[in-house]
Structure 1
Amino acid sequence: MNKIFLTFDLEEFDIPEEFGQTVDFQTKMRMSYEGMEKVLALFRKYQVKTTIFCTACYAENNVEQIKRIVAEGHEIASHGYYHSAFEVDDLRKSREKLMEISGQKVTGFRMPRLQPVSYSELQKAGYQYDSSMNPTFLPGRYNHLDKPRTVYKLPEITILPTSVTPIGRIPLFWLGFKNYPAWYFQFAAKRCLKKDGYLSLYFHPWEFCDLSAYQLPTYVKRIDNDKLLKRLENLILALQSPENQFSTIDSFLISS
C-alpha cells in the first residue's frame, strides 16, 4: 500500500522576522496553535494520521495540544528546541523534552528551514531518521541535486527526503502547494506516489491563519487561512483511495 505523509512543522511563528519585522512571543504561539487546531479538525474528518515535527519551545508552551495530538494517533518528531536558534546539544534536549511532554518515543528529526545537520550527532542524540533533505535546487537556500531522491540509509541514520518530481526534481513543498496551480500539484503528487510508493509533503500550521497583517512576500502569503485549508482538503480527497494510506513516518520506516 502506498503511504502519504502530510507532515507539519509546528514551531514558533517567526517567518516575519526573516523579513525585518518583530513578532511578540504570544503571537508566535497563537498563530501556530490556531493553525494546528484547524488542521487537526480536518484530519479528524478524514481520519488522516501524520507526523508533526515540533520544537520543544512550542511544546513546553502548548502541552495540552501536544497530548491531544498524540492521543489522536499522530507522531511527534523533533524540530529542534527553538526555531531560530540552534546548538548541537539541542538535538538531545529537544528529543528528551518532547518525549517527556508527549509520552511518546521520538525517533525523527527535521532541521528548521531544512538546513544541514550532523548525522553522527543525530545518531548520538538517539534519532533513527532525519527528514531535513529537500533533494532539489533552490537558489539561495541549497543545492541537493546530487542526493538520492527517495528514502535511503546511511551508516548513522535513515534519510527520508521531501518529495520531488521524478523528472526535473520539482519540489512538492509548502511554497509549491501555495503557488503551483492546484491541479498541477495534485497531478505531480500522484505521479510521485505511484513512482515511489510514498509521498512526503510538509507544511506549517501558521499558513492556515490570516497572514494579511504581515509584510511578507506574495509567494509566502498568496494563499492562506481558510482558502488554503480548503486546498488541503481537496488534496486529501484527491489522494484518497483504497491503495493509499495516510501514515506516520515512524510506522512506515518500521514496516519497511
Structure 2
Amino acid sequence: MSKANRLLISVDVEEFDIPLEFGGQVPLQEQLSVSHHGLMTVLDLFERYQVRATFFVTAYWAQHYPELVRQLAVRHEVASHAYYHSKYAPEHLESSRLALLAITGKPVNGFRMPRLKPVSIASLKCAGYLYDASLNPTWLPGRYNNWDKPRTPFRENDFWIIPSSVSPLCRYPVFWLSIKNMPDLVTRHFSNTILKKDRMLSCYFHPWELADLNNYTLPGYIRRVSGNKMQHRLNSFLRYLQQKGEFCTHSEWIREQA
C-alpha cells in the first residue's frame, strides 16, 4: 500500500428537499433539477483536480438521470443514499442498492443514511452492503451527538464503518457546513491536523450547495455561501487537497486495508 495520504471525497446526490425542514416548499421536479445543476458544476471541478470520489445517490434521483449516473460509475464509485431522501422504510436498503445496480451495472458496496441518521449494521449486511458511511463522530446541535464513537474507520461485526473526518481532541468536523462557514485557513488547518494523525481525510458535501440558494427558505448558515461562492470555496479546497495526497473512493480505501 502506498504511503500517500488518502483523500476520500464523497457527494450526497439527492432531492433538494432541505427547505422543507424550514417551512419552505420546493416542487419535486425542482428538487431534482437543482441537484442536477449543482452536480454538473461538481464534475467540472473534479475533472480540473483529477478527483475520484464516491457518490451516494438516492435511487429515486438516479432513476430520473440514469445516463448521468452511469457516467459517474465509469470514473467514480456509486453508492446508495437510500431510495428517497425524505421517506425511509427498511426495505429501501436493498431496493435502493438493486436499483442503482440495475442502472450502473456495477456492485453497490456502500450506504449513507440521509441526514446521517443511525442505521442497523445487521440490516445493511443483510441488504448486501460492505460498508456504511453514515457516521459523523462529533456533535451537531439538533442532529446528533457522536462524541463516544470512533473517530477513524473501524470494523463492527466484520463490517466497515467509515466516518466523516473530525480532528483529534476537539473533534472539529471538516465537512460541508464547516467548509461553507469558516475561513479557508481554518479548514486547511484542521485538514492538516487530521491528515498528520490519520493519513486520510473523509469529507462530504452536496451538489445543491453549488446552486444559488438565496431565494429558498433556508437559514443563513446554509444559504449565504452557495452558488458561485461555494464553487470558489470548493475550488480552493480541492486545489489544496490535490497537493496533500491521492484521491480515492471508499471501496478502494477498504481494498487497500486487506
Q: Hey, what's the Cα distance between the residues in 2 that align with 1:222 and 1:182?
A: 16
Question: In the alignment, what sits opposite 1:253?
Answer: 254
1:197 to 196, 199, 212: 199
Question: In the alignment, what sits opposite 1:212?
Answer: 214
Letter in 1 for 2:256: S
Cα shift readout 1:131-172 (whole Å, capped 9, x = no counterpart): 001111112211111111000000052100000111200111
Question: In the alignment, what sits opposite 2:89?
Answer: 87
Q: Hey, what's the Cα distance between the residues in 2 that align with 1:103 and 1:130?
A: 21
Letter in 2 for 1:252: W
Q: Hey, what's the Cα distance between the residues in 2 that align with 1:181 and 1:233?
A: 14
- The answer to whether 1:50 aligns with 2:50 is no
Q: Hey, what's the Cα distance between the residues in 2 that align with 1:176 and 1:46?
A: 21
Letter in 2 for 1:248: T
Q: Hey, what's the Cα distance between the residues in 2 that align with 1:229 and 1:195?
A: 28
Q: Which moved more, 1:170-179 or 1:197-206?
A: 170-179
Question: In the alignment, what sits opposite 1:186?
Answer: 188
Question: In the alignment, what sits opposite 2:226?
Answer: 224
Question: In the alignment, what sits opposite 1:32?
Answer: 35
| CA RMSD in angstroms, aligned pairs only | 1.0
Match of 1:8, SS state, is: strand
1:174 to 157, 173, 176: 176
Q: Hey, what's the Cα distance between the residues in 2 that align with 1:83 and 1:156?
A: 27
Contact 1:13 1:32 survives alignment (8 Å) = yes
Cα shift readout 1:178-203 (whole Å, capped 9, x = no counterpart): 11111111111121112111100110
Q: Hey, what's the Cα distance between the residues in 2 that align with 1:139 and 1:43?
A: 31
Q: Which runs of 5+ in 2 are unaligned?
A: none
Contact 2:214 2:224 survives alignment (8 Å) = no
Shift of 1:8: 0.5
Q: Hey, what's the Cα distance between the residues in 1 that align with 2:41 and 2:158?
A: 36
Letter in 1 for 2:249: T
Q: Hey, what's the Cα distance between the residues in 1 that align with 2:53 and 2:85?
A: 21
Q: Hey, what's the Cα distance between the residues in 1 that align with 2:22 and 2:38?
A: 21
Cα shift readout 1:1-28 (whole Å, capped 9, x = no counterpart): 2111121100000001001111111101
Identity over aligned pairs, percent: 45
Contact 1:119 1:156 survives alignment (8 Å) = no
Contact 1:77 1:108 survives alignment (8 Å) = yes
Q: Hey, what's the Cα distance between the residues in 2 that align with 1:139 and 1:34?
A: 30
Letter in 1 for 2:70: K
Letter in 2 for 1:52: F
Cα shift readout 1:186-238 (whole Å, capped 9, x = no counterpart): 11112111211110011000000000110210011121111211111111111
Q: Hey, what's the Cα distance between the residues in 2 that align with 1:156 and 1:9?
A: 25
Match of 2:89, SS state, is: coil
Cα shift readout 1:92-128 (whole Å, capped 9, x = no counterpart): 0000000110111100000000001011000000001
Contact 2:166 2:194 survives alignment (8 Å) = yes
Match of 1:230, SS state, is: helix
In the TM superposition, structure 1's runs of 4+ consecutive aligned residues that sit over 4 Å from their partners are: none
Normalized against structure 2, the TM-score is what?
A: 0.96
Question: In the alignment, what sits opposite 1:107?
Answer: 109
Normalized against structure 1, the TM-score is what?
A: 0.97
Q: Which runs of 5+ in 1 are unaligned?
A: none
Contact 1:190 1:239 survives alignment (8 Å) = no
